[in-house]
Structure 1
Amino acid sequence: MSELAGPPVPGLAKLWTHDPVTAGPYRLVGRLGAGGQGVVYLGEDDAGDRVAVKMVNVDLSDPRARSQFVKEIAAARRVAPFCTAQVLFAEVDGERPYVVSEFIEGLTLHRHVRERGPVTGNALHRLAVGTVTALAAIHSAGVVHCDLKPDNVVLGQDGPRVIDFGIARALGNTETASSRVMGTTAYMAPERFRNDAIGPQCDVFAWAATIAFAAGGRPPFGSDSLFAVMHRVLHDPPDLPAMPPVLDELIRECLAKDPADRPTAERVLVRLLRQDGRVTEPLRRESLLEVGNETAGAPTPDQPLPQITPTTPPPGATQSQVPARPTVPTQARPAQPAHLPVQTQPAHLPATEPGVRAEEGGASLRSEAFDAWGISTALFLGSVGAAAGYVASSAVGPAAAVGAVAFVVVYLVRLLVATALGRRSDRG
Structure 2
Amino acid sequence: MLEALPQGRPPRFVGPYRLLARLGAGGMGEVHLACRADAPTADPHRMVAVKTVREDLEVDEDFRTRFRREIAAARTVDGPGVARLVDAGPDAPSPWLATEYVPGPSLAEAVVRTGPLPVGAVRALGAALARALAAVHGVKVLHRDLKPANVLLGAAGPKLIDFGIAQAFEATALTSTGLVVGSPGFMSPEHLVGSRAVVPASDVFCLGAVLAFAASGRGPFHDDEMAAVIYRISRAETELDGVPGELRPVLERCLRLDPGERPPAAELAALLDGRDGEDGRDGEDGRDGEGGGGAPGAFPWPGGVLSLVAECREAARAVGEAAASGAGVADLPTLGPVVPYSPTAVT
> Who is 1:47 aligned against?
40
Q: Which runs of 4+ in 1 moved over 3 A?
A: 16-20, 56-60, 169-181, 275-279
Q: In the alignment, what sits opposite 1:215? A: 215
Are positions 1:185 and 2:184 aligned together?
A: yes
Partner of 2:297: 298
Give the residue type in structure 2 aligned to 1:34: A
TM-aligned CA distance change 1:89 to 1:277, over 3 Å: farther
Q: 1:111: Cα distance to partner?
A: 0.6
- Whichever residue aligns with residue 149 of structure 1, its letter is K
Instruction: Note the C-alpha offset of 1:105.
Output: 0.2
Measured after TM superposition, the shift of residue 100 of structure 1 is 0.6
Higher relative contact order (CA 8 A, sep 6+): 2
Give the superposition deviation at 1:133: 1.4
Taking the aligned partners of 1:214 and 1:158, their CA distance within structure 2 comes to 18
Question: Tell me, what secondary structure is at the counterpart of 1:160?
Answer: strand
- Alignment length (residue pairs): 273
Q: Is 1:12 paired with 2:2?
A: yes
TM-score normalized with structure 2 length:
0.71
Alignment of 1:83-232 (within 5 A): 83-171=81-169, 172=172, 173-174=174-175, 184-195=183-194, 196-222=196-222, 224-232=224-232
Distance 1:176 1:228 in 2: 25
Answer yes or no: is 1:242 the counterpart of 2:235: no
The answer to whether the Cα contact below 8 Å between 2:185 and 2:229 also exists between their aligned partners in 1 is yes
Residue 266 of structure 1 corresponds to: 266
Cα shift at 1:236: 5.1
Match of 1:420 in 2: none
Quick one: distance in 1 between partners of 2:178 and 2:68? 26
- Secondary structure of the structure 2 residue equivalent to 1:32: strand
Q: For residues 59 and 69 of structure 1, do their structure 2 counterparts lie closer, same or farther at Cα, with a shift above 3 Å needed?
A: farther
Deviations 1:56-105 (A, max 9, x none): 4685532x542332122111111122211111122111121111100000
Which residue number in structure 1 is paired with residue 310 of structure 2? none
Cα distance change, pair 206–179 in 1 and its aligned pair in 2 (3 A): closer
What residue in structure 2 maps to residue 252 of structure 1?
A: 252
Q: 2:27 aligns with which of 12, 28, 36?
A: 36
Q: Matched residues in 1 for 2:243 and 2:235: separation? A: 22
Name the residue aligned to 1:27: 18
CA distance in 1, matches of 2:2, 2:178: 31
Q: Is the 8 A contact 1:209 1:255 kept in 2?
A: yes
Partner of 1:54, secondary structure, is: strand
Query: Residue 20 and residue 221 in structure 1: after superposition, are their counterparts in 2 closer, same or farther (change >3 A)?
Result: farther
Relative distance call for 1:179 and 1:269 in structure 2 (3 A) is closer
Rounded to whole Å, the distance in 1 between the matches of 2:210 and 2:299 is: 22
Higher Cα Rg, which structure:
1
Which stretches in structure 2 are left out of the alignment for 5+ residues? 277-282, 287-295, 303-347
**Pairs within 5 Å for 1:269-288:** 269-273=269-273, 274-275=275-276
- Residues 42, 53 of structure 1: 8 Å contact kept: yes
**C-alpha separation in 2, matches of 1:59 and 1:139:** 32
Q: TM-score, normalised by structure 1?
A: 0.58
Q: CA shift at 1:230, angstroms? A: 0.2
Distance of 2:206 and 2:117 partners within structure 1: 17
Shift in alpha-carbon separation, 1:176–1:110, aligned structure 2, 3 A: farther
Give SS of 1:82's match.
coil
Query: Does the 8 Å CA contact 1:148/1:206 hold for their aligned counterparts?
Result: yes
Q: Quickly say closer, same or farther: Cα 1:169–1:227, change in 2 above 3 A.
A: same
The Cα of 1:254 is off from its aligned counterpart by 1.1
Counterpart CA distance in 2 for 1:19 and 1:266 is 48
Contact 2:202 2:259 in 1 (8 A): yes
What's the offset of the Cα at 1:138? 1.1
Could you tell me which amino acid in structure 1 is paired with residue 60 of structure 2? Answer: S
Distance 1:192 1:272, change over 3 A: same
Alpha-carbon distance in 2 for matches of 1:180, 1:129: 25
Give 1:142 deviation, angstroms. 1.3
Partner residue in 1 for 2:313: none
Quote the RMSD (CA, aligned, Å): 2.9
Contact 1:84 1:161 in 2 (8 A): yes
